[in-house]
Amino acid sequence: MIEVMGLGPAGTRAFVEWIDSKGSTEFPRSAVFGDSHVPTELRGVMIDDSRTFESRFEWGIHLAEALGAMEPAFMHSQQADPVWGWLCAVWIRQLTKGFSKIHAPENYIVSREGHMQRRIHRNAARTTCILAKAHGDCSRILLDRPMHVRGELTENLSATKAYMTHTGFFELAHSLYIGENGKPLRGAMSKPKKKEDWTPGNRAGLGSVRRLISFLDKLYHTFDTMAMSKEEMLARLPGEFSKFIRTRSHVPVGSPGVVSNNQSPSN
């Protein structure tokens, strides 16, 4: 167990230089962790740095529990940025699959300079912890990925702060797409064909979580989806979601609110 810290400027530079080199040298542990400090807000907070995780979900739950004293306002603040970089450095071997899959610096370091300000959501520790803390088990739909996998859907959703805090969306996605074994159901994450590539009878990707996001984006023009409950959104899902609705036994097929599934994808 070690006390949670935040990277200082020198430690951050050493980390970024190593990332930019794509791990061509040994991870500069002494340089990275040699310049670190304990944030006042997290003084005395401990984490188990020896833990290995099968998924980002497991990691997120561990971070959320360990950082329970961290207020949401602080988690999103600039003052917390060094903490997220430090946490990524602690688990950098797992996040890079033994240093073999090293992504861009913004995946491990939070920077608010220039265009990097728009990429804060890509930080592995920050987004994973915030989602797990806000949605608990319902965050599985996005975080049930190996530690080294960023997840395109997670990145896209976390770029919109509204979805990060949309409780109804996460509860609905969890109830539709997570099976009894705690894993996503088959087809839950599938990417549908583009409208121009779609042919009648092709149902690949229909009803997936990606389509759910697309549908809710359109529903937003008529309803305040951010204020809608899981049940309210469920009642308005079109027929393409009937497969997952049947699987989870929420609404019998043909019930009010479940319309015909003879429709093509629209993007």
Shared domain check, 142 and 195 = no
- Within 67-123, where are the H helices? 72-75, 81-90, 92-95
Shared domain check, 254 and 152 = no
Shared domain check, 30 and 69 = yes
How confident is residue 35, by pLDDT bands cut at 50, 70 and 90?
very high
- Sole residue written with tokens 């590539």: 197
Phi, psi of 134 (to 5 degrees): -75, -35
Domain boundary residue, one of 150, 165, 180:
165
Domain boundary residue, one of 103, 132, 165:
165
Q: In terms of pLDDT, which residue wins out, 155 or 6?
A: 6
Shared domain check, 62 and 171 = no
Q: What's the whole-number average pLDDT of the chain?
A: 83
State the pLDDT at residue 266: 47
Phi, psi of 133 (to 5 degrees): -70, -40
Q: What is the total count of domains within the chain?
A: 2
pLDDT tens, 146-171?
999 987 677 667 666 667 788 888 99
Q: How far apart are the first and last CA of the chain?
A: 48
- What residue type is 63 in one-letter code? L
Shared domain check, 91 and 193 = no
Shared domain check, 135 and 12 = yes
Shared domain check, 107 and 35 = yes
Shared domain check, 133 and 245 = no
Among 182, 187, 199, which residue's Cα sits nearest to residue 243?
187
Q: How far apart are CA 213 and CA 168, in angstroms?
A: 12
How confident is residue 210, by pLDDT bands cut at 50, 70 and 90?
confident
Residue 92 has a CB neighbour count (10 Å cut-off) of 20
Shared domain check, 170 and 78 = no
Domain boundary residue, one of 137, 165, 193:
165
Shared domain check, 247 and 231 = yes
Dihedral angle at the C-alpha atoms of 100, 103, 106, 108, nearest 10 degrees?
Answer: -20
Shared domain check, 101 and 14 = yes
What stretch of H or E contains 23? none
Strands 46-47 and 2-3: antiparallel
Shared domain check, 154 and 40 = yes
Per-residue CA distances from 83 to 36, 41, 42, 124, 230 (Å):
9, 11, 9, 12, 33
Residue 238 has a CB neighbour count (10 Å cut-off) of 16
CB 27 within 8 A of CB 99: yes
Q: How far apart are CA 175 and CA 25, in angstroms?
A: 45
For residue 52, what are its two tokens? Answer: 């290995």
pTM over 0.85: no
Range of the domain at 1: 1-165
